[in-house]
């Protein structure tokens, strides 16, 4: 971790001395030229390899299109140290850890943003396990982060970078490495190389999550990082969650959708600060646990839940394209609301292939793979 801090500090120093006001982000068109010229575009989906439709990332942030970027981080990003020192019982504690161990300048904070989401888990005709997820919110800046930790599973995750605020400068003005490390502590969904997929979905309720025992603490987003780094399947994920006191990021009530390649898919909820596990292939934005809380959430989230369950009842198997279409059927343009589906992602948990769709453009996909050479 000290090596990371040293390298990032040097980068920030060089960045400041140069007087540049922009980070070293690479536009997609420039990156394509660097890796293979015009014929690297392939099928028109923004793919960047000459002989493959899979986007290969490095430690330079690539701007895929307005509002969507991607980067890869390899090495130690201090998460084991974060867990060892007791985790965090609030977003401000996460920020303190990052400020003391990653940033040498600028005041960092995690902001508030209510959001709605949908997830679905299904088998494809070849027996692969597929997990789909919509992230619904106002227009935001999203970053896809591929991580290869020294001590943990490789993964790919998605971050709303508007959640990360700084005084004095924008997050995008930091060196790419610093941006990537910060984003690794704020994922909202992801999948690791073992095929474990996880998503956080908000529940509209005045209650929150704040467990208080003698266990170490963890927040919603750092819990997602914990599961991606350390859990190979749902059973291991649940065992890990049981070892920590959960605290809701931003104070919002949420539940987790978790699925694996053993065919198990669950929702994890916290009712009166007690962890409850519900077996379910579909999760939206209302409580699924039996009891007084069941059904509390937005009316529209019930409608999306019914649509996705109907999709599963009509399709015993579904490939990645069919899951994309299912996500399209519950995206925000179907409900005439102010929000949009900022990203949809389809994870093939068995093969490691990942398809991203941005702002409800389901004709254009960005393809990644966790199981690339060297990943």
**pLDDT per residue over 328-361, tens digit each?**
999 999 998 767 899 999 999 999 999 999 999 9
Could you give the count of Cα atoms lying within 13 Å of 239 in the half-sphere of its Cβ? 7
User: According to the model, what pLDDT value does residue 30 have?
Assistant: 43
Number of domains in the chain: 1
**Quick check: is 229 in a domain?**
yes
**Quick check: is 374 in a domain?**
no
* Sign of the torsion angle spanned by Cα atoms 11, 16, 18, 21: positive
Whole-angstrom distance, CA of residue 67 vs CA of residue 116: 18
User: According to the model, what pLDDT value does residue 164 have?
Assistant: 82
For the chain, helix (H) and strand (E) counts, in that order, are 9, 20
Q: Go through the chain and tell me how many residues it has.
A: 375
64: helix, strand or coil: strand
Q: For the chain, what percent of residues have pLDDT higher than 90? A: 71
What does pLDDT average to over the chain? 84
- What are the E-state strand segments in 272-375? 274-279, 282-283, 340-348, 353-358, 366-369
**Quick check: is 264 in a domain?**
yes
**Structure token pair of residue 87:** 């985790």
**Quick check: is 268 in a domain?**
yes
Q: What is the pTM of this model?
A: 0.86
**Quick check: is 316 in a domain?**
yes
**Quick check: is 228 in a domain?**
yes
pLDDT band at 241 (very low <50, low <70, confident <90, very high): very high
**Quick check: is 375 in a domain?**
no
Residue 244 lies in domain: 2-369
Is the per-residue pLDDT at 46 higher than 80? Answer: no
User: According to the model, what pLDDT value does residue 15 have?
Assistant: 28
Rg (CA), the chain: 20
| pLDDT (tens digit per residue) in 175-214 | 999 999 999 999 999 999 999 999 999 999 999 999 999 9
Instruction: Sort strands 164-167 and 353-358 into parallel, antiparallel or unpaired.
Output: unpaired
**Quick check: is 245 in a domain?**
yes
Instruction: Sort strands 129-137 and 116-123 into parallel, antiparallel or unpaired.
Output: antiparallel
pLDDT band at 1 (very low <50, low <70, confident <90, very high): low
> What CATH number should be reported for the domain holding residue 12?
3.60.60.10
Is the per-residue pLDDT at 227 higher than 80? Answer: yes
Is the per-residue pLDDT at 104 higher than 90? Answer: no
Is the per-residue pLDDT at 35 higher than 50? Answer: no
User: According to the model, what pLDDT value does residue 3 have?
Assistant: 43
User: According to the model, what pLDDT value does residue 101 have?
Assistant: 79
């Amino acid at each position: 971790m000290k090596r990371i801090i040293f390298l990032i500090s040097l980068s920030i120093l060089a960045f400041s001395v140069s007087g540049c006001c922009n980070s070293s982000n690479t536009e997609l068109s420039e990156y394509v030229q660097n890796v293979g010229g015009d014929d690297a575009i392939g099928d028109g989906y923004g793919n960047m390899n000459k002989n493959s439709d899979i986007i290969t990332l490095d430690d330079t942030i690539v701007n895929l299109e307005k509002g969507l970027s991607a980067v890869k981080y390899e090495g130690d990003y201090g998460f084991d140290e974060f867990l060892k020192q007791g985790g965090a019982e609030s977003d401000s504690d996460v920020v303190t850890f990052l400020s003391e161990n990653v940033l040498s300048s600028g005041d960092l904070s995690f902001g508030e943003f209510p959001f709605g989401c949908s997830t679905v888990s299904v088998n494809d005709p070849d027996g692969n396990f597929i997990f789909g997820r919509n992230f619904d919110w106002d227009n935001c800046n999203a970053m896809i982060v591929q991580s290869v930790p020294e001590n943990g599973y490789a993964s790919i995750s998605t971050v709303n970078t508007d959640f990360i605020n700084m005084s004095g400068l924008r997050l995008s003005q930091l060196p790419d490495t610093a941006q990537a490390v910060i984003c690794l502590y704020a994922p909202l969904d992801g999948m690791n190389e073992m095929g474990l997929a996880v998503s956080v979905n908000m529940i509209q309720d005045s209650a929150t999550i704040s467990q208080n025992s003698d266990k170490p603490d963890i927040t919603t987003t750092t819990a997602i990082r914990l599961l991606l780094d350390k859990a190979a399947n749902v059973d291991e994920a649940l065992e890990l969650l049981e070892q920590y006191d959960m605290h809701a990021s931003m104070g919002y009530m949420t539940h987790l959708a978790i699925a694996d390649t053993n065919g198990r898919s669950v929702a994890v909820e916290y009712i009166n600060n007690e962890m409850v596990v519900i077996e379910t292939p579909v999760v939206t934005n209302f409580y699924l646990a039996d009891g007084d809380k069941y059904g509390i959430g937005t009316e529209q989230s019930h409608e999306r839940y019914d649509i996705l369950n109907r999709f599963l009842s009509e399709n015993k198997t579904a490939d990645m394209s069919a899951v994309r279409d299912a996500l399209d059927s519950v995206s925000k343009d179907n409900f005439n609301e102010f929000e949009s589906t900022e990203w949809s992602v389809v994870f093939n948990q068995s093969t490691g292939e990942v398809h991203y769709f941005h702002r409800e453009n389901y004709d254009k996909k960005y393809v990644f793979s966790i199981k690339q050479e060297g990943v």
